[in-house]
Amino acid sequence: MLIKEETGKDMANERMDNMLTVREVAQLLHVHPNTLRRWSNKGIIRAYRITPRGDRRFKRKEIDRFLAELNGQGDDRQEAESRQ
Q: What is the pTM of this model?
A: 0.68
Averages of pLDDT over runs of 10 residues in the chain (84 residues) are: 45 68 96 97 96 96 93 61 47
Q: How far apart are CA 9 and CA 80, in angstroms?
A: 39
Which of 11, 22, 10 has the alpha carbon at shortest distance from 53?
22
